[in-house]
Amino acid sequence: MITEAMQTAMHGLFPSLIVTCGLDGTPNATVISQVYYVDETHVAMSHQFFNKTYKNVRENPYVEAIISSAELRRCWTLGLRYDRSETDGPMFDDMDMQIEAIASMTGMSGIFKLRVADIYEVESVEQLARAEAA
């Protein structure tokens, strides 16, 4: 489901938006530096500071994410379902390294520390309408 074109939106050059919902129906939206490509049917997101998001996902595993590629001028909405969490291993180490690289580019090196990588199954993908230049 995740195409090569979509992977360009997952390099952390342009922040992504994730939306969760608690059991009581209250939505929570937050910006995240990176949606990490795991394979064509899975993505990962870091759990660093997002306690409300973390709580919501544990209560209701369905998440919407919007990823954007500035170079392609395209956005996609991903319908995701929480699958599992990882706290070590090659993927975790790669995510940690990429988060540190993003942080260093924004002058925030050493501030972000990956605690948990949440893995999500991609259940749907929708390309949003592309705005054409006038």
Judged by DSSP in three states, 56 sits in helix
Q: Where are the beta strands (DSSP E) in the chain?
A: 16-21, 27-32, 35-39, 42-47, 62-69, 74-86, 116-127
Amino acid in position 78: L
Q: Domain total for the chain?
A: 1
The string of pLDDT tens digits covering residues 32-66 is: 878 999 999 999 998 766 688 888 998 999 999 99
Buried/exposed 6-20: b ≥16 CB within 10 Å, e otherwise: bebbbbbebebbbbb
Q: Is residue 132 part of a domain?
A: no
pLDDT of residue 118: 93
Provide the CATH number for the domain around residue 53: 2.30.110.10
Give pTM, 2 decimals.
Answer: 0.85
The string of pLDDT tens digits covering residues 58-99 is: 899 999 999 988 777 889 999 999 999 999 999 989 888 877
Q: Is residue 119 part of a domain?
A: yes
| Domain around 38 | 4-127
The string of pLDDT tens digits covering residues 13-28 is: 778 999 999 999 999 9
